[in-house]
Amino acid sequence: MSGPPVPEDGLSGYLDGELTPAERAEVEDRLETSPEWRAILAEVTEARAAVRGLPVREAPSGFWDAVLSRGAEERPVERSRRWQVLAPIAATAAAAAVLVAVLLPGRETVTPAVPALVDAHAAEASVAADPISRLAPIGVPVGLGR
Amino acid sequence: MSAPTRAADRGHARLVVALLVMLLPLGAVRAARGATGPDAGERLLEEARRAATDHEFAGVVVVEWVEGGRWHRERVAVSGESGILEVGRERRLLGRDEHRLVEGPDGWLLLWSDRPSAPSPAAKYELRVGPGPLVAGRATRLVEAVLAGEVRERSYVDAESGLLLRREVLDADGRVVRVVGFVSVSGLRPATGGSSEPWPDDVEPSAPEPVEELDDPFRAPETAGDGYGLVARHRHADGTLQLFYSDGVFGISVFEQRGRLDARRLPAGGRVDEVAGDEAHRYPVPGGEVLVWEGDELVFTCVGDAPIEDLRTFAEDLAREPEPGILTSLARAVLAPFRWG
């Protein structure tokens, strides 16, 4: 079936609830009659869900300032000429960086076992100094979820 | 003189020598307790360290500490017999020599089996020795550890046995913030051997091992805070690095774990604090203070019996970025973009 070109922007606006009532009615009309529109709507919906499922990563502090200041320092003519050479390399590197950033696991999270560490400290301190005053406090069955 | 008589005399001589040898340490101990020289305080504190396992006794200790602006007070049963120190009835701990055991649901767990050597308290503090008050009905000698004119710790040592009967920790304003002291003690005498409860033989070994080399990013400065020196460093089975620092009076343990802090699973009741501009979690506990925070690729837990001001100063010092080597700097620069989040 051939019809008017599929407006992906219109479908995005439809999904985001940004269309006017008239535009929304028009899109729904097309969805009812066009399998192609319905297929594209499903693809857009799936892609948006996948993007939203990605973990949020924050750039290190100072990263964007460094990028912007580096750009402002370069002269327009040099930047234009250099950009023609570097653009494909930069695009590839950026894609690789994004891929690695998404695929690499973040640093492992840890939660110190505070009661056990308090015991370990008291045990060592009680060998180096008077044992009763250092051990008696951990003989108290209160605090830290004990 | 007949042969049997000479033999009897030699036997008496050996007995007298043996008695003298036995009495010499006792005399030295008594001399330390009565001494007022510059080393008297240090000798009394060292004697107190040994007296707990050199004597038999049974008593009740009261632990008092401030938490949430309120004083808390708990009683703990303590006894010593044949070199075995037992602390607590509900949560039993045993100590003999450098070994420390805690009784868990599955048996005895070895907490510690090494002997760190703490620095001399006299290197940082002025130790003042004088007569103390009666504690648990017994005469005491009082040792005050003074820093910049302020008393930071009071130790009340039993005048006869050398056992530490009471310890008070004071903050920088001279207020008592923690007390551990006997309220009753009986049967106090030198240990004679023959324990009614033998040392357990089914102990699960879980004590940390001494460690020599440290991998990046773990750190172990030789000194930190106000006069705390590194005494020992050990590695736990799960990879946690434990450093023990002492200034001769107070001890601070630093536990370093690689990773990011998942603060949601920390024990409830912590207070928000700050270390070097990073958020920290503070837990006042009966034996001291705890600070937990995340630094450069590491999660730090500082536990100490020092007042909180000391612990904060120590933590700030530790949290400072160490000077990395060239290779470390290069590796960090290359990997930095991939460490987001």
Judged against a pLDDT cut of 60, whether residue B1 lies above it is answered with: no
Burial environment of residue B98 by CB neighbours within 10 A (0 to 12, 13 to 18, 19 or more): middle
> Please, which residues 262-291 of chain B have a Cβ atom closer than 8 Å to chain A?
262-269, 283, 285-288, 290
Residue B225 falls in which region: left (phi positive, over 0), alpha (psi -120 to 50) or beta: left
Phi-psi region of A22 (alpha: psi -120 to 50; beta: other; left: phi over 0): alpha
Q: What is the predicted pLDDT for the residue at A138?
A: 87
pLDDT-above-70 percentage for chain B:
81
Which tens digits make up the pLDDT trace of B92-113? 888 888 888 888 777 787 887 7
| CB atoms B180 and A132 under 8 Å | yes
Tokens of B119: 């620095």
Contact B248, B121 (CB under 8 A): yes
Number of neighbours of residue A11 by Cβ within 10 angstroms: 20
| Of B45, B177, B219, nearest in space to B119 by CA | B45
Please state whether beta strands B107-113 and B223-224 pair in parallel, antiparallel, or not at all (unpaired).
unpaired
CA distance B5 to chain A (A): 49
Name the pTM for this structure: 0.69
Q: How confident is the model at residue B320 (pLDDT cuts 50, 70, 90)?
A: confident
Q: How confident is the model at residue A145 (pLDDT cuts 50, 70, 90)?
A: low
Identify whether the C-beta of residue B298 lies closer than 8 Å to the C-beta of residue B257.
yes
Q: What pLDDT was estimated at residue A83?
A: 62
Q: What pLDDT is stored for residue B119 in this prediction?
A: 87
Report yes or no: B73 at the A interface, CB cutoff 8 Å: no
Per-residue pLDDT of B21-34, as tens digits, reads 333 344 444 444 55
Digit-coded pLDDT (tens) for A99-132? 555 555 557 899 999 998 998 899 888 888 889 9
Closest to B61 in 3D by CA, of B149, B185, B157, B168: B185
pLDDT (tens digit per residue) in B277-298 = 899 999 999 999 999 999 888 9
Confidence band (pLDDT; 50, 70, 90) for A56?
low
Give the H or E element holding residue B187. Answer: strand B176-190
Angle at B284 between CA B278 and CA B293, to 5 degrees: 20
Cα separation, B276 vs B286, whole angstroms: 26
CA distance A77 to chain B (A): 29
Helices (H), chain B: 3-34, 40-54, 308-319, 326-335
Test the B interface: residue of A110, A118, A119, A142 with most B CBs within 10 Å: A110
In the block, tokens 């110190």 appear at A112
Taking only the tens place, the pLDDT of each residue in A81-102 is 666 666 767 777 776 666 555 5
Residue B93, H or E segment: strand B93-96
Nearest-10 crossing angle of helices A8-16, A21-33: 120
- Tokens found for residue B157: 């040592």
Give the CB-side neighbour count of residue B48, counting CA atoms within 13 A: 30
